[in-house]
């Protein structure tokens, strides 16, 4: 029997992209468009066309290239934030925990005994400053999916990985 159309089959890589802050994005879009139109109408300079096109170009670039995301694969959890990629293999992770630190929701993890921390881990410093007993983590409050769904998926992927070790 084919599992291609089976709704219970999980994809091998789950991606949780970050949402754009609408208050900031749309405010800047409107201000820039008004400036571009004003430039076109008052100065009659061709730079007005470039000013009008800039927000559209910026939305496309930030949506396709720079937009951060958390990816959960069968073997690791990956944070992509252009130009950096932070990968933490499940072979190093002991457990995941959802917590709030400094007003942010974090998917924190504990490493297995004797495992050195990953090279690039921006949340680790915040966790150390808050005196929390975690080795690293990822900000998950700015992602498009609810934090509890992301934590659940990460725990299931870790459990699945450890069951097959």
- Helix H or strand E encompassing 90: none
| Domain range for 47 | 14-66
| The pLDDT of residue 3 is above 80 | no
CA 119 to chain centre: 18
60 and 76 in a common domain: no
76 and 50 in a common domain: no
Section 119-135 average pLDDT: 83
Instruction: Kindly state whether residue 59 falls inside one of the protein's structural domains.
Output: yes
| The pLDDT of residue 120 is above 80 | no
DSSP string, 58-77: HHHHIIIII--EEEE-SSEE
76 and 117 in a common domain: yes
**Span 64-88, pLDDT tens digits:** 666 788 899 999 998 887 778 888 8
123 and 60 in a common domain: no
Work out how many domains the chain is built from and give that number: 2
CATH number at residue 127: 2.30.29
Section 13-26 average pLDDT: 79
């Amino acid at each position: 029997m084919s599992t291609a159309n089976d709704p219970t089959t999980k994809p091998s890589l789950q991606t949780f992209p970050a949402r754009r802050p609408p208050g900031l994005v749309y405010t800047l879009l409107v201000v820039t468009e008004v400036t571009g139109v004003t430039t076109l109408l008052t100065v009659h300079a061709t730079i007005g066309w470039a000013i009008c096109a800039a927000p559209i170009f910026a939305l496309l670039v930030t949506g396709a290239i720079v937009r951060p995301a958390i990816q959960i694969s069968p073997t690791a959890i990956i944070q992509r934030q252009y130009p950096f990629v932070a990968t933490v293999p499940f072979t190093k992770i002991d457990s995941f925990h959802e917590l709030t630190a400094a007003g942010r929701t974090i998917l924190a993890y504990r490493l297995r005994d004797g495992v050195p921390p990953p090279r690039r881990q921006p949340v680790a410093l915040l966790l150390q400053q808050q005196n929390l007993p975690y080795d690293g983590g990822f900000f998950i409050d700015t992602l498009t999916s609810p934090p509890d769904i992301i934590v659940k998926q990460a725990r299931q992927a870790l459990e699945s990985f450890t069951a097959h070790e």
